[in-house]
């Protein structure tokens, strides 16, 4: 390997905030506390968060990840992922006597309650989000199917045809592109002036902060790396935001093993951030890999400081 001192120096700009958000941190803590307090396995429905490094770490401690509840033995403990679940899932867990713990992010639960309230008022609901994403599946499962329409793009917003345009509301997935969602909402408000929205936007503060932080550094960097998983919505949005903000080479990597060293040939200023489900240890591992090949000057560009922490569910608070 070429010695670090023989390569051109590299300035690394760390976007802040980055990495774990309050909802992800809470969900991981829930599983870890249950694992520490029980001798029997703890089952988790779907990935607790969208990051294989996190999932594999919990598996090594004894967590068992399943796709559906029929894979969970009667009487076992099961955790619902941070993305939220349809109402039918906790109902089935209760019917079977499972010891269920809901790790849904409180900000996702807020969207669920908003959708249910608007449906109870007789509104048809437009959900802005990505089809098939677990969070969207969970939100759709809070209301009768006829009460909800899914809109993914600005083109969808121009074409959507609600049955009750004068009794209409919208909610959004929490991990969307802030700018793209703003455009979609503007179209809906133009087409349906009476449409009701949440008092506070549904895109969570962590998503907003991470996008603003990477947008602030993207134009001054030769490349931006977003550390996160391919199935992580918020991580993919960060790549898009960096590209739209002027970075000529924005890409997603899961960790140091995915570094394309050839792509760094002409890079003197590299921006790095991490999706909300990527732990800081992965950022540190990428920095260590870079330091083995390049002389690094690391600086942090902080957009905001996050201090919020969500309370753990009562079932695990004192474990």
Q: Which residues are catalytic?
A: 135
Q: CA–CA separation, 215 vs 244, rounded Å?
A: 8
Q: CA–CA separation, 33 vs 41, rounded Å?
A: 12
Q: What is the DSSP string of 247-298?
A: -S-EEEESSGGG--GGGGTT-SEEEEEE-TTS-HHHHHHHHHHHHTTS-EEE
Angle at 86 between CA 82 and CA 88, to 5 degrees: 130
Give 299's strand partners: 13
H helix and E strand count, the chain: 11, 12
Q: CA–CA separation, 228 vs 19, rounded Å?
A: 9
Structure token pair of residue 120: 């109870």
**How far from each other are the two terminal CA atoms of the chain, in whole angstroms?**
48
Angle between helices 178-191 and 205-218 (to 10 degrees): 120
Token look-up 């045809």 returns 161
Token look-up 């969500």 returns 310
- Do 213 and 234 contact (CB within 8 A), yes or no? no
């Amino acid at each position: 390997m070429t010695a670090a001192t023989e390569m051109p120096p590299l300035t690394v700009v760390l976007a802040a905030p980055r990495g774990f958000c309050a909802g992800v941190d809470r969900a991981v803590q829930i599983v870890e506390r249950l694992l520490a307090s029980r001798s029997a396995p703890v089952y988790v429905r779907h990935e607790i968060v969208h990051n294989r490094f996190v999932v594999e770490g919990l598996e090594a401690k004894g967590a068992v990840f399943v796709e559906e509840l029929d894979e969970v033995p009667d009487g076992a403990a099961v955790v619902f992922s941070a993305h939220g679940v349809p109402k039918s899932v906790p109902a089935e867990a209760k019917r079977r006597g499972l010891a269920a713990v809901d790790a849904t992010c409180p900000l996702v639960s807020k969207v669920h309650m908003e959708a249910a309230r608007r449906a109870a008022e007789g509104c048809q609901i437009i959900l802005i989000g990505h089809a098939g994403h677990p969070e969207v599946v969970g939100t759709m499962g809070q209301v009768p199917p006829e009460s909800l329409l899914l809109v993914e793009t600005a083109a969808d917003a121009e074409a959507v045809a609600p049955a009750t345009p004068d009794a209409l509301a919208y909610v959004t997935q929490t991990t969307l592109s802030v700018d793209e969602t703003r455009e979609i909402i503007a179209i809906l408000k133009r087409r349906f002036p009476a449409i009701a929205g949440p008092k506070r936007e549904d895109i969570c503060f962590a998503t907003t902060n991470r996008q603003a932080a990477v947008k602030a550094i993207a134009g001054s960097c030769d490349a931006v790396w977003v550390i996160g998983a391919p199935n992580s919505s918020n991580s993919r949005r960060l790549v898009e935001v960096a590209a739209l903000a002027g970075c000529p080479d924005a890409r997603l990597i899961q960790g140091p093993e995915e570094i394309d060293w050839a792509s760094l040939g002409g890079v003197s200023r590299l921006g790095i951030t991490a999706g909300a489900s990527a732990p800081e240890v992965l950022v540190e591992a990428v920095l260590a890999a870079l330091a083995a090949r390049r002389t690094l000057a690391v600086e942090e560009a902080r957009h905001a400081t996050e201090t919020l922490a969500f309370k753990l569910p009562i079932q695990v608070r004192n474990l």
